[in-house]
Amino acid sequence: MSFVNFKKKEVQFKLVYYGPGLCGKTTNLQVIHRLINPEARGDLTSIATAGERTLFFDFMPLVANAIEGFQTRFQLYTVPGQVMYNLTRRMVLRGVDGVVFVADSQWSKMSENVESFANLEENLRLQSETLQTLPHVLQYNKRDLPDVAPVHFMEFMLNNGAVRQSSFPAVATTGEGVFEALNMVARLVLHKFMTVHNRKEEGACELALV
Amino acid sequence: MAQILHEKDSVRLRKVLVQLLARSESDDCLLCDSGGHVLALEGASKHDPFLISALGAGIFGASRELARMLGENEFSAVLHQGEHRSIFLRAVDADTLLVMIFSRSANVGLVKLYSTPAVDDLRQILADIQHGPSVPGPEDSRPFVLSPDAQLFSLRKE
Ligand SMILES: Nc1nc2c(ncn2[C@@H]2O[C@H](COP(=O)(O)OP(=O)(O)OP(=O)(O)O)[C@@H](O)[C@H]2O)c(=O)[nH]1
Ligand SMILES: [Mg+2]
């Protein structure tokens, strides 16, 4: 849930990278950290096992110039993809404003993708949130590998709701499809924020809290 | 969960933190929500408050799950003690957390002691914000406008 601080003239949003184990969520943040204009980012902090699997989350704050008169902060998180860490995923999802669902394009990972997507929907439901209203995009990662499913098949498996979401083929290790997904989800989040807040401002009685 | 913090609410929260900081001789006090957003902060620390709140919310979420496992409602506070610096986390309400960072020169007992009235005050203010009729200042009621050059995130220049 976005957070506005009028005193500090600051708006905070929370973006979460979600997807099955080893699909490349942490890699997305690493490559953003490496390639983004350094003034726009803070440090990347990872809580991981010795084997580099995410144990708790990765975290990186980004700052953008998006809303007039306000500093706009996007806090990026990844969840641990391994099935057993579901409680942790729920914790990281709390108050989420936007999701990048990272899918692994390899044929062998298709059922894990579908399972992880269902798990996302279930965990959102537990916090009374749904993908119908939560801004999100899909990223089909690892397009450089030999044994990958065609994009239209991945769309059929993962992007088959009434409203088609934006999706991006990607090679997270090189940055391909990474900024595209980030910018799109950030735009969707901003758009929703504008719609919700400015509508409220016009109303007769403005509620400070929702 | 707080969505908007108007200036006068910020001032009230801040007052409590300033007083707590002085009384307990801590280095930093920070108020964050369970999603990791920073609501208010006081102190002179060089630490990134956004990272502290992300990690603090994580630690607290984890300890809450541990408590549930043990049949406790929740642990209301968590202390991590270091050789030079320590961190004390305390629940304000179901969704808000007070984080205090203090060095060896401060006394753990005092930190805990003074955090109690402060948490009560903070809880009251947060409840007022939730339920009370909020009167935004003139500055606060203008619609948000997207920057014309809404350049979001771009690659670094070589
Ligand atoms: N070939 C290829 N490898 C990739 C790509 N993206 C990520 N990888 C590799 O996949 C492995 C796992 O990537 P991570 O980013 O750690 O995966 P994760 O989704 O964070 O995994 P968990 O933390 O366990 O959930 C690493 O060895 C990455 O280098 C890609 O686009 N192509
Ligand atoms: Mg990871």
CATH numbers and ranges of domains, chain A: 3-202 (3.40.50.300)
Residue A173 has pLDDT above 50, yes or no: yes
Give me the mean pLDDT over the B78-93 stretch: 92
- Considering only CB atoms, B130 lies closest to which of A45, A59, A209, namely A209
How do A136-141 and A167-169 pair as beta strands? parallel
- What is the tens place of the pLDDT at every residue in A47-76? 888 778 998 899 999 999 899 999 999 999
Q: Is A171 in the pocket of ligand 1 (CB under 6 A)?
A: yes
More confident residue, A203 or B99: B99
Give me the mean pLDDT over the A114-138 stretch: 97
What pLDDT does A49 receive?
A: 83
Distances (CA, A) of A118 to A25, A54, A97: 17, 20, 18
What pLDDT does B45 receive?
A: 76
Angle between helices A86-93 and A110-126 (to 10 degrees): 50
Classified as helix, coil or strand, A205 is: coil
Average pLDDT score, chain A? 92
Give me the mean pLDDT over the A22-49 stretch: 95
With 0-12 / 13-18 / 19 or more C-beta atoms within 10 angstroms meaning exposed / middle / buried, residue B26 is buried
More confident residue, B69 or B43: B43
Q: Which residue is closest in CA terms to ligand 1's atom 9?
A: A24
What pLDDT does A208 receive?
A: 39
Strand partners, B12: none
Distances (CA, A) of B80 to A178, B42, B84: 37, 20, 11
- What is the tens place of the pLDDT at every residue in B108-133? 999 999 999 999 999 999 999 888 66
- Sequence-distant (6+) residues with CB within 8 A of B140 are A6, B6, B7
What pLDDT does A203 receive?
A: 46
Residue A110 has pLDDT above 60, yes or no: yes
Query: Quick count: other Cβ atoms within 10 Å of Cβ B97?
Result: 23
Percent residues over pLDDT 90 in chain B: 53
* Alpha-helical segments (H) within chain A: 25-35, 86-93, 110-126, 151-158, 178-202
Asked if B138 contacts B63 with a C-beta cutoff of 8 angstroms, the reply is no
What pLDDT does B63 receive?
A: 84
DSSP element (H, E) containing A168: strand A167-169
What is the C-alpha separation between B125 and A150, in angstroms, rounded?
A: 54
Structure tokens at A148: 């990958």
- Of B92, B94, B96, give the one whose Cα is nearest residue B116: B92
- Please check whether residue B71 touches A, CB under 8 A: no
Give me the mean pLDDT over the A98-104 stretch: 98
If you measure from the C-alpha of residue A176 to the centroid of ligand 2, how many angstroms do you get, rounded to a whole number? 18
- Please check whether residue B59 touches A, CB under 8 A: no
What pLDDT does B1 receive?
A: 40
Structure tokens at A5: 């601080």
What pLDDT does B38 receive?
A: 93
What pLDDT does A206 receive?
A: 40
> Per-residue confidence at B156, pLDDT binned at 50, 70, 90?
confident
Interface ipTM = 0.84
What pLDDT does A210 receive?
A: 33
- What is the tens place of the pLDDT at every residue in A68-84? 999 999 999 999 999 99
Structure tokens at A96: 């989420």
Q: Is 0.80 topped by the overall pTM?
A: yes
> Per-residue confidence at A207, pLDDT binned at 50, 70, 90?
very low
Which fold, B7-155? Beta-Lactamase (3.30.450)
What pLDDT does B150 receive?
A: 61
What pLDDT does A200 receive?
A: 63
Query: Quick count: other Cβ atoms within 10 Å of Cβ A52?
Result: 10
Question: CA angle at residue A200 from A195 to A202, to 5 degrees?
Answer: 100
Residue with tokens 């203008």: B142
What is the C-alpha separation between B84 and A203, in angstroms, rounded?
A: 52
Q: Is A109 in the pocket of ligand 1 (CB under 6 A)?
A: no
- Sequence-distant (6+) residues with CB within 8 A of A111 are none
What pLDDT does B143 receive?
A: 83
Pocket test for ligand 1, best of A17, A26, A27 (most atoms within 8 A of CB): A27
- What is the tens place of the pLDDT at every residue in B6-41? 999 999 999 999 999 999 999 999 999 988 999 999
